[in-house]
Amino acid sequence: MYLLTAQEMQNLDRTAINELGIPGVVLMENAGLQVIKAIREVIGEPRGKTITIFAGKGNNGGDGFVVARHLLNAGAEVKVLMFADIKDITGDAKVNLNILQSMGFKPYPIINPNSLNIVKLSMLYTDLVVDAIFGTGFRGAVPDHVGKVIEIINSSGKPVIAVDIPSGLEADTGLTQGPCIRASRTVTFAQAKIGLVVQAGPEHTGKLTVADISIPSVLLKDSNIRRFMTTPQLVRSLMPERAADGHKGSYGKILLVGGSQGLSGAAAMASMAALRAGSGLVTLAVPAGIHGLMEVKLTEVMTRPLPETGAMTISRHAAGAVLEMAEAADVLAIGPGLSTNEDTVEFVRDIIPRLEKPVVIDADGLNALVGSTGIPETCQAPRVLTPHPGEMARLMGIKIDEVQNNRVETALEAAARWNAVIVLKGFRTIIAGPDGTVYVNPTGNPGMASGGTGDVLTGVIAALIGQGLSPLEAAVAGVYFHGLAGDLAAGDKGMISLVAGDVLDYLPQAIKATIQKTSPDEELC
């Protein structure tokens, strides 16, 4: 699923109208019909229901006029409250307003502060609100009067369907700079807009439906748009079929390097996650002092002892042994439970530039690279870095707020700077490739904010690379599976009690649900 900016959507509209000859009024009609479909799904048949439509003076308001006409035909009681004088409505919106007026319907302008009483009264008796105030071209903060109306709508407790985008939300950034509609559901047209799925977008968008309004998708095939929402269909298409004559060597030999005294669980979970995600062989290399413990703990994982420091962390002298083991592996993962011991940091800084096999770097593997000028860039191997916002801030030398307020841009900058795939973890995890491709992941929940869940993700991504996916593909699919496993676990156990081991336990179900087409539909994010 593409994620478009407002300008890209405008260009798509313009091409459909000017080059393909689809009249704008037809697109508006189709948009209104898609909103009617959503209304029926929310409140059932409109007959006898009261519906209040808030309309702006642009095409978004025109969509609202189409909705009003069809609701009237269906027997609903309809009120249209306009943030414009009738004489200010032009273009295709004017065409649909004229039709309404010809039917004997009278909209009510609410363009002054005295109109707030009308709004309050309408909210008392309405069954549903349709937000058709501002479209995707909106930027900045809504005018004060509109903001007061939005606050009344939000506090009414009535279900709200937003037309294309919640009014007050920026289509390009997902930011709000003042009052913004909190929709129960948003029906966006042709393609999703990036602001709907990042930053504050999801909390204002509600349930998102991407609706076809007859703009041919072929128009996007030759575009240079590289922003996507991860969907189960996409993930399914990335997963290779298992050959009937396959064997354990066919599905990836993973070498995971990590663990230390007190942090052995991270390495153990990452190893088991690699197996659960389909790896044929997983070897875990750990400090010699905890090797015996890991041999007992991990029945299906092979283990190897490494030279250690006095604190039972991996020593800088382990580099040679790890490089030798790497020759027999298809992919490496470095970081879970590694510790920030000074000697161990030197080990990481020594080995990363010398690796030739794909590598996933997480946790203390990333922390070891902070301040190590040039090391991410000098690594010749394909690599995936999986920082959480704090780790990304340290790696980039910026504040966490700068990362969180610019998640997509930060991930893309890091991917280009380090020529690596970046997985910027958190709400709506961002996956960015060095070629400028970016994916936004829809799965996952706040219950996954628990120690060890990132280690599970490391193992999953490494496993998928070992099965033949590119680093970017493995990151996209791995993050999706990981988040879906968390969602399934939360569905059974609740978010409060969720732990990393639950995500690991539900990983097989997540993979199975996606491959067998029982995961959430791509149109509803």
- The residue from 189, 224, 259 where one domain ends is 224
Q: Does residue 424 contact residue 472 with C-beta atoms inside 8 Å?
A: no
Q: Are residues 43 and 147 in the same domain?
A: yes
- The residue from 224, 259, 275 where one domain ends is 224
Predicted pLDDT of residue 376 = 66
* 244 inside domain: no
pTM comes to: 0.93
Q: Please name the helix (run of DSSP H) or strand (run of DSSP E) that holds residue 306, with its range, or none.
A: strand 302-306
User: First vs last Cα of the chain: how many Å apart?
Assistant: 11
* 523 inside domain: no
* 442 inside domain: yes
Q: Are residues 210 and 304 in the same domain?
A: no
In whole angstroms, how large is the CA radius of gyration of the chain?
Answer: 26
Q: Are residues 150 and 217 in the same domain?
A: yes
Q: Are residues 455 and 319 in the same domain?
A: yes
Q: Digits of tens for pLDDT over the chain (525 positions)?
A: 899 999 999 999 999 999 999 999 999 999 999 999 999 999 999 999 999 999 999 999 999 999 999 999 999 999 999 999 999 999 999 999 999 999 999 999 999 888 999 999 999 999 999 999 999 999 999 999 999 999 999 999 999 999 999 999 999 999 999 999 999 999 999 999 999 999 999 999 999 999 999 999 888 877 889 999 999 999 999 999 988 888 998 899 999 999 999 999 999 999 999 999 999 999 999 999 999 999 999 999 999 999 999 999 999 999 999 999 999 999 999 999 999 999 999 999 999 999 999 999 999 999 999 987 666 666 788 999 999 999 999 999 999 999 999 999 999 999 999 999 999 999 999 999 999 999 999 999 999 999 999 999 999 999 999 999 999 999 999 999 999 999 999 999 999 999 999 999 999 999 999 998 776 654 444
Helices 59-73 and 24-43 sit at what angle, rounded to 10 degrees? 60
Q: Are residues 51 and 181 in the same domain?
A: yes
In the chain, the amino acid numbered 50 is: T
> 427 phi and psi, to 5 degrees?
-60, 125
* 435 inside domain: yes
Predicted pLDDT of residue 522 = 45
Q: Are residues 210 and 263 in the same domain?
A: no
* 336 inside domain: yes
Predicted pLDDT of residue 82 = 97
Spatial distance between the Cα atoms of 242 and 392, rounded to a whole number of angstroms: 36
Predicted pLDDT of residue 524 = 44
* 245 inside domain: no
Predicted pLDDT of residue 373 = 60
What are the tokens at 183? Answer: 């929709």
Predicted pLDDT of residue 243 = 87
* 524 inside domain: no
Q: Does residue 235 contact residue 214 with C-beta atoms inside 8 Å?
A: no
* 521 inside domain: no
Q: Are residues 107 and 163 in the same domain?
A: yes
Q: Are residues 188 and 39 in the same domain?
A: yes
Predicted pLDDT of residue 255 = 98
3-state secondary structure (DSSP) of residue 227: strand
Q: Are residues 386 and 455 in the same domain?
A: yes
* Domain enclosing residue 329, as ranges: 232-238+251-515
CATH number at residue 388: 3.40.1190.20
User: What DSSP line would sit under 160-209, residue for residue?
Assistant: EEEESS-TTB-TTT--BSS-----SEEEEESSEEGGGTSTTHHHHH-EEE
Angle ∠(323,326,329) on CA atoms, nearest 5 = 175
Spatial distance between the Cα atoms of 301 and 272, rounded to a whole number of angstroms: 7
Residue 407's closest CA among 387, 430, 385, 391?
430
* Number of domains into which the chain is organized: 2
CATH number at residue 183: 3.40.50.10260
CA-based torsion, 328, 333, 338, 340: positive or negative? positive
Q: Are residues 60 and 156 in the same domain?
A: yes
